[in-house]
Structure 1
Amino acid sequence: MRAVIALDGVDFKKHSGVIAYFREHYIKMGIFDKMYSDIISSTSLIRSKSDYDDFYIAQKDETIEQVKNAEEIYNAVEEYLHTLY
């Protein structure tokens, strides 16, 4: 996502800023499918839990799902960037 928003000349110090901008300017505008908003929400929640919950242990199935989600977003971003360049 950061690679995409960098093309607009913007960056944010916090993940939440990157996510909010990406949703507003790329998902809401239809450039990326709305399913990516759900993936981003899921990923952000798990990231937050793993960072701040002292007793959080990621489950194997959850980890597999997150890797799949990361690959989907990566592929979508890569495809988008190739359409531009």
Structure 2
Amino acid sequence: SKNPDVQPLVLNDVTDQILKGNESIIGIMLESFINAGNQSIPEDLGNLEYGVSVTDACIDWGTTERSLVEMAEKLKGILPNR
């Protein structure tokens, strides 16, 4: 099952792999949106919750930003040299 809450942990693991010299990683993908979670599309579209995905469950924007900033800080001396 997909659990978006583990994405920051996976991102940390990917960062560690790059720090250890793995050069085969060239990108990442996160399920991210304004607010966390997801929702079904209701019959009355007026009942949609703003900023919540209608597809896969997502992490919220704050978590996305923190995770990517942390990754960039850790890799700032490595990625420019690849």
Which has the larger Rg?
2
Bin for the TM-score computed over the shorter chain: 0.3 to 0.5
From the two aligned structures, give the one with the greater helix fraction.
Answer: 1
Taking structure 2 as the reference length, the TM-score comes to: 0.32
